[in-house]
Amino acid sequence: RLVAVRHLAAGEEVTVSYLPEGDLLSPVEKRQLLLRNWGFSCTCPRCEKHDDTRGFLCPVCGGSTVFLGVGGVSTCSACGAVPAVEFLEHSE
């Protein structure tokens, strides 16, 4: 039996994670490595874009959150800065 925690529109895709809940909070690189056990890479929005569970306060303005993801660091929505990846890696 599958139970949704929100309303689903007719025809909306329903997906199931191969990873246990605790691993879903890991960085995208670790999640992709774990998924190799099943022979595929995840292409969900969270894995393809920034990971909204791994945000950092913008080191330039402190006014918004920037995210570290597969494509690098997101742009700060407050000041437009793109902080260096090295800065964020040392902030974790």
Higher per-residue confidence, 68 vs 36: 36
DSSP state of 92: -
Q: Tens digit of pLDDT for each residue in 46-68?
A: 777 766 667 888 888 988 888 87
Which burial class, exposed, middle or buried, applies to 27 when counting CB atoms under 10 A from its CB (0-12, 13-18, 19+)? Answer: middle
Q: Is residue 92 scored above 60 in pLDDT?
A: no
- Predicted local distance difference test score (pLDDT) of residue 7: 92
Q: Is residue 77 scored above 70 in pLDDT?
A: yes
- Determine the Cα–Cα distance for residues 79 and 20; give it in Å rounded to an integer: 37
DSSP run (H or E) holding 65: strand 65-69
Does the reported pTM lie above 0.85?
A: no
- Predicted local distance difference test score (pLDDT) of residue 10: 94
Q: Report long-range pairs for 41-46 (Cβ below 8 Å, ≥24 apart).
A: 44/15
Write the CB contacts of 15 (distance below 8 Å, at least 6 apart in sequence): 44
Most confident of the ranges 2-6, 34-38, 44-48: 34-38
